[in-house]
Structure 1
Amino acid sequence: MAAAITTVLLLLTLFTTTYSATIYTGSITPNFTTSQFQHIDSSGAFLRSPNYTYTAAIRNPQPTSPSYYLVVYHSDSHTIVWAANRNHPISVSGQIRLSFTGITIHDDTGQTVWSTPELYSTVYSLQLQDSGNLILVDRFNKTLWQSFDHPMDTIVTGQRLPVGGTLISTNSPAAFSDGDYTFTVTSGDGILQWKNLTYYSLLLDSKSVINSNGPITSLMVNGSGFYLFGSPESDVAIKVMITSTSTDADSDYRILKIQNDGSLVVLRYVKLNNDWETDFLTPLDSCRPTFKCGKLGLCSTGSCSCPPGFRVDPVTKPGCSLSDNSLSLPESCDKPLRQPNSSENYVYVPLGTGMKYFPVDFVNPVRTGVSLSTCKDMCSLSCSCLGLFHGNQSGSCHLIENHLGSIVSSLNNKSDDKLGFIKAIESLSSSRNLNDSSSDFPVIGLILLPATGVLAIAICAIWMRIKSRNKKMKDYSKKSSDSDDLDMFSIAGLPVRFDYEELVEATVNFSSPIGSGGFGMVYKGVLRDKTVVAVKKITALGAQGKKEFGAEIAIIGNIHHVNLVKLKGFCAHGRERFLVYEYMSRGSLDRTLFCPGPPMEWQERFEIAVGTARGLAYLHSGCEPKIIHCDVKPENILLSDNMQVKISDFGLSKFLSPEQSGLFTTMRGTRGYLAPEWLTNAAISDKTDVYSYGMVLLELIQGRKNCVQAPSHGSGNPSTSTDGHSSVSSGSQNRHRARAFYFPLQALEMHEEGRYLELVEPRLAGRVTNNEAAKLVKVALCCLHEDPSLRPTMVNVVAMLEGTLPVGEPRLESLNFLRFYGRRFTEPSTVVTGAEIEVPSGFMVAAIDSSSPSASPNSFSYMSSQQVSGPR
């Protein structure tokens, strides 16, 4: 007893006599050693910033916690914003040491648990700045190390989080160790992840406003808001709208934090109330964080339950386990692939309809166009696979690997046809019983059955086998003669395959043509259920045509959007192919826009512009995988009686994946709508469609083709092609002089002068305001930027047209190429039209008059008026 009292008295003497109890201001020099014991009266504080905004201390997260950390906290609120040894806490007797080589933290045995990295110079002092940055400097006051480079779960006002910078949530309020949720700044967004699985991104939040399309360099929160900066860093690429409800003049201190429940929050300190208020919280959907309800828990409007076939797991609450005791969940492994274990029999427990797993939305499927059984086989072969989601229509196969989070009820999402399955292991006893019963039955049955019964079964089996073989041979013979090439396509969820007789009946033996294209005629038809359809009869089907036919079925048949034409079915008859579309009563946009008759009203044109943009935005951002149309033009924009807009003709479309960053030399479009990258061998992307859309938008504004040539003086008999360009019949060597008009150049010049109304079709004079015209002209010119990275995404185009995003300002330096194209197109030139030649880029150009010194095969002026892709 006496010994214990003596120990206590010695400790009390130590606390009251040590010189280290001093709280320094601004900086500390080596050699300095301290512990929580030495600063117990000041709650572990040993260093303050010059203006006292921040304090460095040895603190525990909660008064009852035995874990201590080197921290920086906000002095007024005592909120910890940074911890050094977050994954290596020390006890109350651990020490912090500042030496000429850096900072080290030691546990009560003297062992180092954390230290700053090796520095290239000698430490002169440790400083705590008014910004909250804890830094080590040399004798020239040059920073050797700083805490801002190693954030915990929080950044403070004025602190920048660069691209690649990550905030990691704490494991719990009582411990600073790394949690499972992270927030990371990328070059294009800010993403929220659980165990490296993305479940939300900042741009999905309605309060995020895109100001520019340039890459992001850093994120910062300050007294006025929350920003993601571009390059140069003064440019705001994305602004997150924050509304403050407080009138406290001192309420300009904010922090951004990833919380341990997976939400990202911006908190504002109100000094008047000595409390924090929430200025921004995302995601608002409380079910978004992937572990909201534990492993396999079902989250619905914030409440947790279990999916059918599962029960609450008493061990892992919150969370669910399989209801069937004969099944167990497998553990993941480090090996990506392995051969199936003979002792494991996998079964797949369905999650049922209306179930969603958010990480699936942010990754590409491992395969598309595969059956459910194939998807299951792929999961069975991977010991890291714990479940899957399969798209019934698209045939997409998503594997859930390494970790299982919470499932979300998505009954309101009717367009999502993905069904989920959880991988389970069937116990040996149950699988053996099943196998034994199935394998023993024939033997037992044969023993019990009389001889006459056995003979009857044998005769029946032989007869059925012969009949089945004859049927297969008959079907094979029919397929070989009718559609041998079509059977090469293995596409899950194909649209209806019509019989040829059905289409003959629907079109009254193809007697009602409503249009024509390079592949053949389009007929109006009425199916037996009275549905009016458009039947596209494809007759000019070469090797490329077969491929495009299959691509069109695969792509159009698996996408659904109000602004995309719906493919109802297809048919193969002999060497002919038929595509059956929904019927659009007013035909294509070019017929209404360019043909004689009353002009389209401005509001109609605007709605067509918005509808087309929405359709393309869905192709680029809403499909899985993403799709580039590659042939956006008025002929491929269809209209109904009520002016509903639908994009058609996906024969030239290509799937877009992150790996497809190279040049697609087989992708071609139509003259007049081709982006400059087609002619420079640059990579083709979704921004190629944006350029074509900009050209269509200009034609909507003026009511005629962008490129118009009118024959002038000269010999020969020039004719006018279907796209409004004059030409001379193939093989003729007659020369003619041409005067031409290039509207994109005029649009650029009128934009520079602010004369937007002069660009609108004259017949609409007095019915369009200058602001309405300026909006469409500016959007169109932004889409025409020569540099694809400067063009807006189609999602942003929709936002600009609808008014939810400010209209961008065209970058003149990236539009100067229009002056070159315009001059080349409009100057009088002698053109020799002869045999077309194929150039290395895959484009068709007319033969060039060698006597013309300015002739260039790379100029739009000398490209053939034929569609570069061939007739459509």
Structure 2
Amino acid sequence: MGYSLFFPTFFLVCPLVSGFLSSEFIYPNFTATEYHFIDNDGAFLVSRNSTFKSAISNPGAQKTNFYLCVIHVESNTIIWSANRDAPISDSGVVSLTTNGITIADQGGVLRWSTPPLPSSVYALKLTELGNLILLDHSNGSLWESFHHPTDTIVTGQHLPVGTYLSSAVSDNNLSSGDYMLTISTSDALLQWHNQTYWKLSMDTEAYINSNYIVEYMAINRTGLYLFGQNESLVVIQVILSPADFRIAKLGASGHLTVSRYSGTKWDQEFFAPTDDCKTPFICGRVGLCNDGLSSGLSCSCPSGFHVVSQDCVPNNGSYYLPFSCNSSGFSYVGLGYGTEYFANDFSEPLRYHVNLSVCEDLCSGDCSCLGFFHGNSTGSCYVLESELGSVMSSNDAESDLVGYIKVLAGPSTNGVTGASSRRQKIPVAALVLLPFTGFFLLGALGFLWWKRWGLSKSKEIKLGRRNSHSSEDLDVFYIPGLPKRFDYDELEVATDNFKTQIGLGGFGAVYKGTLLDKTIVAIKKITNLGVQGRKEFCTEIAVIGNIHHVNLVRLKGFCAQGRKRLLVYEYMNHGSLDRTLFGSGPVLEWQERFDIALGTARGLAYLHNGCEHKIIHCDVKPENILLDDHLQPKISDFGLSKLLSPEQSGLFTTMRGTRGYLAPEWLTNSAISEKTDVYSFGMVLLELVSGRKNCLLRSQSHSMDDNESGGGHSSSSSGSGFGYYPLFALEMHEQGKYLELADPTLQGRVTREEAEKLVCVALCCLHEEPALRPNMVSVVGMLEGGIPIIQPIIESLNFLRFYGRRFTEASTLMELNGSTSYPLGNASRNTSGLHAVFSYVPSQQISGPR
């Protein structure tokens, strides 16, 4: 004990003992340079059993770039680097203070540091797993290197959804490269400039165990896994031979490898993608990759290109490949049949059933488009954007895709003949006359521009001249990730001039439509977005359109033309949950209700935790939960709150006050978070249990009151014949009478345990303090049974008694006055909290059935 007390004091007094290699811990006021620890190869900290060391390292023994690294000692393999994108020289300094770690170069120039921490640092520890941890005085973790991975993860490390690995430029240059391994809620993806080129689920060595939500990727003694429910559920697995230590690394070439250390060398166990030609840049820009199997991989140039200094360039010397957005002076060079592009297998065509000319026009109208592939038999049109990688020879005998690459300058000899290529030739006469007529032409152009400026943009759109759209309309093409873009005329035809309205909401009306490929869709004609511009609108649509989950209604496309804003959704034949649950049709069985609750919870968990951009729905209610033909729930209108302007977002408090789904924090100006959706989900869960609305007037519920054992006849909650069901649920929970809460139309087809499970989860979601509510991932776990049911905290539910009492008082007042609507007058002015109970905006006026 005496030694352990003396040890940290020693470091505070003598922090710069040259060559002294600390074991496991170092303490604040410590500094290190490569020179001070040169005898230890720059290492100044080792784990308890010397499995890992932390060192100032220069990979490859180059003399210019030094990094703070964690290194596997026996193999001398770097598993993590702090300042990968900000290397220091050999005179750079690593310091540990009570504020964290800093890395400064010569002259004290700060190059890297840990973020601001919640409390002072007591020590820095290197664990036997290779994790650098900053500890506070209670040995609590303030920061961990495992939470900020670079290109490698090791046994015992998690790579959660939303995080990623980024390749290094090379073995000697640790800077972030172009390849990424990202973890979504359903898969692990390899991407290059946001273009996917591999998925774990498609790998021949992977086994898909379930379709549950992924929480993180990990490697352990038995293999590579995507886990859900805190490692209690395997979603995807790659089984490997047992090994105590292995690493997964995203290499500089874009390959993901998993290797185990055998004691003398690394043995590679997993390699992806196995087809090297599907690695995006294997043969350089527009290089043609050929995998001859027996003869191995070879690179050449496709038709229309030849090699110059190891790069493929157009055969016509007047052409060159664009490296930036260019909207004029271009043509196309054909690649011929038998070629493919890596990203085509992982993306939907921009358009279906279009001819080659239309596909070319789509690329020509988008300056970020660098080329396209067109299928003659299917009419599919794929566009190549952002960056051009390698192309590959196609082994698919049935494929009839043909590719075209956009090139700049010069007349077209190999490309598609079209408007873009025809405008390359400038008449010789114009070149001769131009110097003599310059001023005249400028004046004429100025006059024409003035006349054009005075025309109404709406008239231009009505004329249907795509190339005459305003420059703002072209902005939609500059935003990556947009879903399919429709012309207004297309949607007008699809809906027979917006003939069949199937819903009406606060954002606008919804119409049934049929696209050219006979797909039935729901088209929302948005009318309440104020003056939001196309670019802002399309930026948010790009986020919403790239969110795909089995329990979310899919956004198939959009229209942003002039001031018109429309969204195209998949059509849900069974309508919304409120129609099925509260309507006069067949009764929903208990298992159907449970499956709807679980599916809805999974959809919300994905919005909150599985998307790159967290989305808070803000309006969870039965009207926004749609059902397919198999009663599988799909959440609609997610992300539409993102489309509101800042001024409009201030209306959320009143807009979202729909029959008691409004969380208390809306009314207290508290921060709105994903826990707001959790509260609303809790209310929906109670309605699924009871088969009735949470707030009912006598005129709505009197027939039920006569027959329902669970109709809300508690003295405190519904003494006047009116029911505030959440309070009744709380009271029955306190008494353990869960069957009193179940829908009586189920007639005994539900057990006490089944009802108790859903009621307890619902009440946990209704806690007044958002921090006490579970997140949606935990809710999913409780419903599935992987996580024990949390017991509700009664103290945090007492506000329901206040709501219920005021509801009864106001309801009695309404009965005396003969009122048939919710009071908005003096009775509700007694407290701002009553707004959550009393204010009522009809659901169809907000978002309505889809």
Q: TM-score scaled to structure 1, two decimals? A: 0.52
Q: Which one of the candidate residues 688, 691, 709 is aligned to 1:700?
A: 688
Q: What SS does structure 1 have at the residue aligned with 2:330?
A: strand
Shift of 1:114: 12
1:600 Cα shift? 2.4
| CA contact 1:296–1:404 (8 Å) conserved in 2 | yes
Trace 1:468-487 onto structure 2 (pairs within 5 A).
none
Confirm whether residue 668 of structure 1 aligns to residue 669 of structure 2.
Answer: no
> Higher RCO, 1 or 2 (CA under 8 Å, sep at least 6)?
2
Q: Which residue of 1 aligns with 2:492?
A: 497
Which residue, out of 324, 327, 332, partners 2:319?
Answer: 327
| Distance across 2 between alignment mates of 1:134 and 1:614 | 34
Does 1:425 pair with 2:419? no
RMSD across aligned C-alpha pairs, in angstroms?
8.1
Query: 2: distance between equivalents of 1:275 and 1:478?
Result: 66
Residues in 2 aligned to 1:306 and 1:663: alpha-carbon distance in whole angstroms: 58
Alignment partners' CA distance in 1, 2:791 and 2:198: 28
Q: Mark the CA change 1:493 to 1:360 in structure 2 (over 3 Å): closer, same or farther.
A: farther
C-alpha deviation, 1:425, in angstroms: 1.1
Residue 254 and residue 708 in structure 1: after superposition, are their counterparts in 2 closer, same or farther (change >3 A)? Answer: same
CA contact (8 A) 1:533 1:581 kept: yes
What does 1:191-340 correspond to in 2, within 5 Å?
Answer: 251-255=243-247, 257-263=249-255, 267-271=259-263, 274=264, 276=266, 291=281, 294-296=284-286, 315-316=309-310, 326-332=318-324
Of 784, 800, 816, 2:797 maps to: 816
* 8 Å contact kept, 1:514–1:522: yes
Counterpart of 1:180 in 2: which secondary structure? strand
Q: Deviations over 1:566-598 (max 9, x none)?
A: 99999xxxxxxx999999776654444335686
Aligned to 1:767: 749
Alpha-carbon distance in structure 2 between the residues aligned to 1:585 and 1:859: 37
How far residue 802 of structure 1 moved from its aligned partner, in angstroms, is 6.5
2:588 match: 600
Deviates most, 491-500 or 615-624: 615-624
Retained in 2: the 8 A contact 1:190–1:201?
no
Q: After the TM superposition, which residues 134-145 of structure 1 pair with which residues of structure 2 at under 5 Å, given as runs?
A: none
Contact 1:297–1:305 (Cα < 8 Å) also in 2: yes
In the superposition, relative to structure 1, how do residues 262 and 656 fare at CA in structure 2: closer, same or farther (>3 Å)?
Answer: farther
Aligned position for 1:142 = none
The correspondence of residues 92-241 of structure 1 with structure 2, limited to 5 A, is 153-154=151-152, 169-172=167-170, 175-178=172-175, 180-181=177-178
Aligned twin of 2:826? 848
Cα deviation 1:839-870 (Å, max 9, x = unaligned):
xxxx99610249xxx93243157524453885
* Paired residues for 1:602-641 under 5 Å: 602-609=590-597, 631-635=619-623, 637=625
Report if the CA contact (8 A) 1:24-1:47 is conserved: no
The C-alpha deviation readout for 1:450-507, integer Å capped at 9, x for no partner, is xxxxxxxxxxxxxxxxxxxxxx99x989999xxxxxx9x9883445425999999xx9
Distance of 2:514 and 2:94 partners within structure 1: 88
Residues 806 and 331 from structure 1, CA distance in 2 versus in 1: closer, same or farther, beyond 3 angstroms? same
Q: What amino acid is aligned across from residue 825 of structure 2 in structure 1? A: A
Q: Is the 1:833–1:847 contact (alpha carbons within 8 Å) kept by the matching residues of 2?
A: no
Q: CA deviation at 1:704?
A: 1.4
How far the C-alpha of 1:329 sits from its partner, in A, is 1.1
Match of 1:345 in 2: 329
Asked if structure 1 preserves the Cα contact closer than 8 Å seen for 2:285 and 2:390, the reply is yes
- The CA distance in 2 between the partners of 1:434 and 1:603, in whole Å, is 64
| Greater displacement, 624-633 / 674-683 | 624-633
Conserved in 2, the CA contact under 8 Å of 1:309 and 1:324?
no
Amino-acid identity (%): 40
Number of equivalenced pairs: 682
Distance in 2 (alpha carbons) for counterparts of 1:243 and 1:500: 47
Structure 2 residue matching 1:738: 3-state secondary structure: coil
Pair 1:589–1:186, CA change in 2 (3 A): closer
Cα distance per residue 1:327-373 (max 9 Å; x no partner): 311345xxxx9xx79xx7234679999967599999xxxxxxxx999
Taking structure 1 as reference, are residues 100 and 859 closer, same or farther at Cα in structure 2, changes over 3 Å only? closer
**Is this contact kept in 1: 2:37–2:44, CA < 8 A?**
no
What code does the residue aligned with 2:663 have? A
TM-score, normalised with respect to structure 2: 0.53
Quick check: which has more Rg, 1 or 2?
1
Partner SS for 2:655: coil
Q: Does the residue aligned with 1:424 lie in a helix, a strand or coil? A: strand
830 and 225 in structure 1: CA distance in 2 versus 1, 3 angstrom threshold: same
Could you say if the C-alpha distance between residues 744 and 477 of structure 1 is closer, same or farther in structure 2, counting changes exceeding 3 Å?
A: same
**Secondary structure of residue in 2 paired with 1:497:** helix
Match of 1:867 in 2: 842
Residue 605 of structure 2 contacts residue 777 of structure 2 at CA under 8 Å; is this kept in 1?
Answer: yes
Structure 1: runs of 5+ lacking an equivalent: 1-22, 103-111, 121-125, 136-145, 230-234, 363-370, 413-418, 444-471, 481-486, 508-512, 571-577, 711-718, 726-735, 837-842
Structure 2, unpaired ranges of 5+: 1-18, 97-104, 114-123, 134-143, 349-357, 375-380, 397-401, 414-418, 432-454, 464-469, 474-484, 559-565, 706-717
Are the counterparts in 1 of residues 344 and 382 from structure 2 also a CA contact under 8 Å?
no
Deviations 1:226-252 (A, max 9, x none): 9999xxxxx9999998888556xxx54
Distance of 2:689 and 2:407 partners within structure 1:
59
Q: Find the aligned partners of 2:634 and 2:512 in 1 and give their Cα distance.
A: 17
CA deviations 1:512-570 (Å, max 9, x no partner) are x999999999999999999999999x9xx9x859999x99xx99999999877899999
1:779-827 CA-partner distances (Å, limit 9, x unpaired): 5456545566877777887787677x75774774895365355444555
**Counterparts of 1:521 and 1:432, CA distance in 2:** 39
Change (3 A) 1:630 1:98: closer
Q: Which of the numbers 732, 738, 741 marks the counterpart of 2:720?
A: 738
Tell whether the 8 Å contact from 1:386 to 1:422 is kept in structure 2 after alignment: no
What CA distance in whole angstroms lies between the structure 1 residues aligned with 2:73 and 2:49? 10
Preserved contact between residue 575 and residue 628 of structure 2 (Cα < 8 Å): yes
Q: Is the 8 A contact 1:568 1:580 kept in 2?
A: yes
Q: Distance in 2 between matches of 1:56 and 1:699?
A: 56
**2:655 touches 2:841 (CA, 8 Å); kept in 1?**
no
- In 2, distance between residues paired with 1:154 and 1:791? 35
Change (3 A) 1:435 1:46: closer
The aligned amino acid for 1:497 is E
1:270/1:588 CA distance change after superposition, 3 Å: same
Q: Which amino acid aligns with 1:594?
A: F
Inter-partner Cα distance in structure 2 for 1:118 and 1:588: 54
